[in-house]
Amino acid sequence: MNEIEGWKALAAVQAVGCIVSGMTVGLGHGTTARYAVLELAARLRAGSLTDIRAVPCSYAVERLARQERIPLTTLEDTPTLDLTIDGADVLTPTLQAIKGGGGALLREKIVAQATLREILVVDATKLAPVLHGKVPLEVLPFGWRTQIEYCASLGGRAVRREKDDKAVLTDQGNYLLDVDFGPLDDAPALAAALQERAGILAHGLFLDLVHEAFVAGADGVRTYPPTPLP
């Protein structure tokens, strides 16, 4: 495990410490969130956590959770979650985030909106003073090229995410666009413009959805918002 992977694991372990027995939790998608799934499974096997049910954000996370024997449920059966642990592509100290680089954007946002306490776990390289860079969009395949033109009208350069010259599909069968808007001076305005566009099913701006974050780096794990001094 390299240094950054070690940081990711450290942040995930700290976040899992927020889970208590009896909770229903959301399991995020991505490399950092994967460490949280493995840590949760270890604590269930050890008996330090019991009576946990989980909602995965993707088929890949569902397979991992089943492999690790984490009891699962659905949002249909449990529409409100106690806590969700997920990763992020970019995170500011004010808990605004860009997510969706792993491809489970729409599901991650649905789970985030259904949870009472959204916790993000990231390594220190993801922390930035302002949101910047590529914003993922999950879009309906029908008319997807029109979304590229729409993003251009907002000042963004959009590219469809592809692998082996074929569109990458989400678990819902949708396309992903990665849109470079540069530094986001007014993220709420951009979010509103993206949200009102038919065919854009979800955008990667997670604004006012995150309650807490654990950021791990060379100096250990920092909590955001910072814990007040006694």
Q: Which amino acid is at 126?
A: K
Marked catalytic residue, from 5, 62, 76, 108 = 108
39 catalytic residue (yes or no)? no
Q: Are 168 and 176 in contact (CB under 8 A)?
A: yes
Give the three-state DSSP class for 179. Answer: strand
Crossing angle (nearest 10°) for helices 31-46 and 59-67:
30
22: left (phi over 0), alpha (psi -120 to 50) or beta: left
3-state helix, strand, coil in the chain (%, to 5): 30, 30, 40
Round to whole Å and give the CA distance between 133 and 95: 16
DSSP H or E run through 85: strand 83-86
* Cα–Cα distance list, 139 to 70, 72, 99, 128, 143 (Å): 31, 28, 15, 27, 9
Sign of CA dihedral 99, 64, 107, 109: negative
Which residues are part of the catalytic machinery?
Answer: 108
